[in-house]
Chains A and B, each alone.
Chain A
Amino acid sequence: MAQATTAGAAAAKSVQHVSKPLPLEYLRKRWLQAVVLFGFFFLYFPIIALMATSFNEDKRNITWKGFTTDWYVKAYNDASLFNALVNSLTVAVVSTIVSTIIGTMLGLALYRYRFPNKASFESIAYLPIVIPEISMAVAMLAYFAQFLEVPLGLFTITVSHIAFSFPFVAVVVRTRMAGFDESLEEASRDLGASGQQTFWNVTVPYMMPGIIAGALLAFTLSLDDFVITQFTSGPGSTTLPIKIYSMVRFSVTPTVNAASTVLIVITLTVAVAAMAMQARSEKNMVKKNG
């Protein structure tokens, strides 16, 4: 009798599991565990190894000799490396500000207005997202060097970065606006606000999570970019990725690893912030609709 009850309870329990599997239930399958582990290893071992070796005392990086932060100090004191970091951050900040403004305007326009050939216009506007980076790099180089005859440098890098990152901002802002209730703007007008007041008090605050997420995306894209930057940079305008690449051509020193780790940490911080921002705005949306 007691056994029967236990069996019944177990059956009820398993029925529950069938109807609503736990988030980590798939890990019970051994082969899936193996696949997951291999995936993680394949993806993250090189990065973890890179970060670990940047703290290794061994100069040739063959065996572990002990923990040190000397390589970071060395990288910091390397004037050309530090200069590259400053260049990278300068380009990233300026291009983020400009591409966020342009991208937000584009995203808003695509959300709000209907005009002839809108679909084609939209595809063309989003083209930099799908165009092969190398093609865009060559196009940019030709444009600056032959067509405009502008000397290559931080200016041309920044302009190129704006060109490839504003469509990403536009996509994010437009997606955000898809959930917008237009009667919010009408309510604002109805309550006595002018068109401008309505834009700044109602529309922009609603867009803000999208704008911030787009800006962080633009920032990481600019900071990491290699191909386009390589083609549009000139003497004295080396950015961190390019500097790291030129150092690696001689040898992979722990200094390079340290510089790379700094780049990873900056990018990761910004990316996590962007995701958190997005998640928060989505949670608010769910709450609002729920």
Chain B
Amino acid sequence: MDSRKPIISIRNVSKRFGGSVVAVDNANVEIGEGEFFALLGPSGCGKTTLLRMLAGFENPTEGEIIIDGHRMEGVDPNRRPVNMVFQSYAVFPHMSVLKNVGYGLRVTGVPPDETQRRALEALALVKMEQYADRMPNQLSGGQRQRVALARALVKRPRVLLLDEPLSALDAKLREAMQLELVRLQHAVGITFVIVTHDQDEALSMANRIAVMESGKVRQIAAPADLYEFPNSRFVADFIGKMNLFEGQVTGAAGNSIVIDIAGLNRITVPYSGHAQGGVGVAVRPEKIRIDHAEPPNDRVKLRGKVTEVAYFGDESAVFLENATGVNINVNVPNDARRTAAPFAIGDEMWISWNPADTLVLAE
């Protein structure tokens, strides 16, 4: 939990459609003032439904949502202190850029001269002031998104909601917009809540991430914590690349436990919790090393044969298989200039990692 004052509290919120389909299942999320918060999950996990409940387009079946100290039950979308950037941008096609941005002020009775001034300010914020007189069909996708951003920010909301804002942009533009959104959030100091299925997007932009799966919030943590300490097999597998094995706890000794991994060795790893029976054992590919020579005994050691090498320039993904047919992925950084890998397909190698890098997942 962040130490900041909460601006959004989602308490025991569930949403069912048509009585049976559970879109959101007992979600509990607290979002602090000024956070850049991401709702991350595969499609159909309920993240968009949760966002739409914050905006007021859906009502929770159970539970309550509190925004800026007020309960949101029965409050219409036009009366909430939040504004949204839609996945399709939803820029009004029959209005100029300036009219689009000023719309939210115009309909709430802000005088025309103030509307004009604030709309131009908002356009300047997203570097679109020279396009004020254009019609939306004369803009590119990225420009339309900037208009949608300006149109939402001009209302000075307490929270800006963004529904998959970068999904329709090409890869290069997406990267630029990620930085742009972070810059914008620093500039305006508003809480951002972004929905995304792209983990890179969430990891690089958000200061905290809630990972969702089939309606449930699985873990809420800062990006590095989420990556290094996932709390479940789902999160471990969903975020980044992971070697995930199934094992049995066979004993404990002090701060360590002994796990028998199916098809692999018996390993001893540090663990402070209480784990019994079947557990998941996970290691990130970049934390594993492969050598011709036998590594020291304080490392977890396996033998495996190289089956495939995929070259990515900065690193190579190496796929190995041990005698019992278990696959292990290793990322080898290409940290010295060489064109031939120091091993070939079919080589028998030592695979090893630091026991402290092993994750034991009870869930």
Contacts and interface: CB of A to CB of B under 8 A. Distances in A.
Contacts, number: 70
A201 B78 CA distance: 15
Contact of B77 (A184, A190, A205, A284): A190
B310 to A, nearest CB: 37
Interface in A163-202: 181, 183-184, 186-194, 197, 201-202
B304 interface: no
A187 B107 CA distance: 12
Given A192-B155, A284-B137, A288-B136, A186 B90 contact: yes
A193 B107 contact: yes
A193 B106 CA distance: 9
Contacts of A186: 55, 57, 77, 84, 86, 90
Nearest to A185: B90
B83 A191 contact: yes
Given A192-B108, A192-B155, A187 B90 contact: yes
B137 A202 contact: no
Contacts of A205: 94
B74 interface: no
Interface string B306-348: 0000000000000000000000000000000000000000000
A191 B155 contact: yes
A183 B90 contact: yes
B88 interface: yes
Contacts of B92: 184, 187-188, 202
Interface of chain A, main secondary structure: helix
Interface in A203-262: 205-206
Interface in B66-90: 76-78, 82-84, 86-88, 90
A30 interface: no
A186 B104 CA distance: 12
A184 B119 CA distance: 19
A194 B77 CA distance: 9
A188 to B, nearest CB: 7
A287 interface: yes
Interface in A262-290: 284, 287-288
Interface residues of A, number: 20
A186 to B, nearest CB: 6
A287 B76 CA distance: 33
B93 interface: yes
B88 A191 contact: no
A184 B95 CA distance: 12
Interface in A105-142: none
A183 B89 CA distance: 8
B90 A181 contact: yes
A210 to B, nearest CB: 13
A192 B84 contact: no
B197 interface: no
Contact of A189 (B76, B108, B152): B76
A181 B107 contact: no
Contact of B103 (A183, A191, A206, A288): A191
B151 interface: yes
A81 B66 CA distance: 72
Contacts of A287: 137
Contacts of B148: 187
A283 to B, nearest CB: 10
Contact of A188 (B93, B94, B103): B103
Contacts of A184: 90, 92-93
B88 A190 contact: no
Given A205-B94, A284-B137, A287-B137, A189 B88 contact: no
A215 B107 CA distance: 29
B77 A288 contact: no
Contact of B84 (A190, A201, A206): A190
Interface string A65-79: 000000000000000
Nearest to B77: A189
B78 A183 contact: no
A197 B76 CA distance: 14
A189 B104 CA distance: 9
Interface string B123-149: 000000000000011000000000010
A197 to B, nearest CB: 5
Contacts of A194: 78, 107
A115 B282 CA distance: 51
Contact of B83 (A183, A190, A193): A190
Smallest CB-CB A-B distances: 7 pairs: A191-B104, A187-B90, A193-B107, A183-B90, A287-B137, A189-B77, A192-B108
9 contacts: A186-B57, A189-B57, A189-B77, A190-B84, A191-B104, A191-B152, A192-B78, A193-B103, A193-B107
Given A181-B90, A190-B55, 11 more contacts: A186-B55, A186-B57, A186-B86, A187-B86, A190-B152, A191-B78, A191-B152, A191-B155, A193-B107, A197-B107, A287-B137
